[in-house]
Structure 1
Amino acid sequence: MIHPTSDCQSKRIGHGTRIWQFTVVLHDAKIGRDCNICSHCFIENNVVIGDRVTVKCGVQLWDGLRVEDDVFIGPNVTFTNDKHPMSRSAEWMCLQTLVESGASIGANATILPGITIGKDAVVGAGSVVTKDVPSGATVVGNPARPIRSINSEA
């Protein structure tokens, strides 16, 4: 299902995926099966999204982002892809960011470029992620710091 008010230019959209109102998906983006892309999102060309991913309202997915299966991306999460952004810079360098399977990113979190968020990791709402997040860890704050691991009690 692609809502009639969205601008979905890509033909690489998996079966069962829903793309809601006022969302733009550029030509070379790849979105897996059974995803839910909520309203007011933007998905750039060099983006790959796995299966059963939820992207809540107001999220922009920029070139270089890889999202594996069963990931949750909360409302207004901000991804970045350039460590030193400058207008019209010839030295622009796109860094790849990876969100591994089962990860969950809370509302309004900011993810700096070149980061890996590990399998089943949780990023708390409003956190600013400046370093890789280990698999199974929960991180919160600015900068985001671990508060627990899936392998620990606290």
Structure 2
Amino acid sequence: MSSGDYFLHESAYVDEPVSIGAGTKIWHFAHVLSGTTIGKNCVLGQNVMIGPNVTVGDGCKIQNNVALYRGVVLADDVFCGPSCVFTNVLTPRAHVERKDEFAETHVGYGTTIGANATIVCGNALGAYCMIAAGAVVTHDVPEYALMAGVPARRIGWVSRSGDRLGPDLICPRTGEVYVESNELLALASD
């Protein structure tokens, strides 16, 4: 089924009002709740739930079984691996209503989040960082950081193209040169 300039599988649900960009594909059993904005050329896999009031940038790829709750903001070109998890409160209890405590989680441009990783709410993920499969992010992540473990710790750096950087901080794919200063990384040309 096609709706406007985006593709919507017949088993998917889209509540009103929402904004969905041209070229976006929403697959089997996905649910987009009201107040959500999804950019252009995104892909929402099977059983993805987004909203309410979530913002997804252009070019994002959200794999199967991912839920993005109120407070999550994805910049452009974010990749969310299968079954990765975004929490929405720090101390949940079934018998205590905490919807007014949902913490914002900002995911920077070009970030990659691996399968089954958990992003604890209230943390910011810097542009181009890479979160390893199964990692649990419990604090802010710097740009270009390669994070792994429980809790996640920085184990290296990655380039804009997602390649792990060696001690010379030169991307093996593109030849881009990076510089490190005070536990932060930046392109040398910036």
Does the aligned pair in 1 maintain the 2:57–2:75 contact within 8 Å? yes
The structural deviation recorded for 1:90 is 4.3
- Pick from 12, 29, 33: which aligns with 2:36? 29
The structural deviation recorded for 1:87 is 2.2
Q: Report the counterpart of residue 104 of structure 1 in structure 2.
A: 112
The structural deviation recorded for 1:101 is 0.3
Does the aligned pair in 1 maintain the 2:130–2:158 contact within 8 Å? no
State the Cα deviation string for residues 39-63 of structure 1 (Å, max 9, x = none).
1111111210000000000000011
Aligned length: 154
Matching of residues 1-150 of structure 1 within 5 Å: 1-10=7-16, 11-92=18-99, 93-150=101-158
Summarize the Cα distance change of 1:27–1:132 in structure 2 as closer, same or farther, 3 Å threshold: same
Aligned equivalents of 2:62 and 2:133: distance in 1?
14
Higher relative contact order (CA 8 A, sep 6+): 1
Moved over 6 A (4+): none
- The letter for the 1-side match of 2:11 is T
- The letter for the 1-side match of 2:32 is V
Larger radius of gyration: 2
The structural deviation recorded for 1:84 is 1.1
Scaled by the length of structure 1, the TM-score of the pair is 0.95
Aligned equivalents of 1:28 and 1:147: distance in 2?
37
Mean Cα deviation higher: 121-130 or 78-87: 78-87
- Residue identity over aligned pairs, in percent, reads 37
State the Cα deviation string for residues 8-35 of structure 1 (Å, max 9, x = none).
1143000110000000100111100000
Q: Please give the secondary structure, in 1, of the residue aligned with 2:133.
A: coil
Superposition CA RMSD, Å:
1.4
- The letter for the 1-side match of 2:78 is V
Aligned equivalents of 1:86 and 1:14: distance in 2?
36
Q: Please give the secondary structure, in 2, of the residue aligned with 1:66.
A: strand
Aligned equivalents of 1:2 and 1:27: distance in 2?
16
Aligned equivalents of 2:155 and 2:143: distance in 1?
13
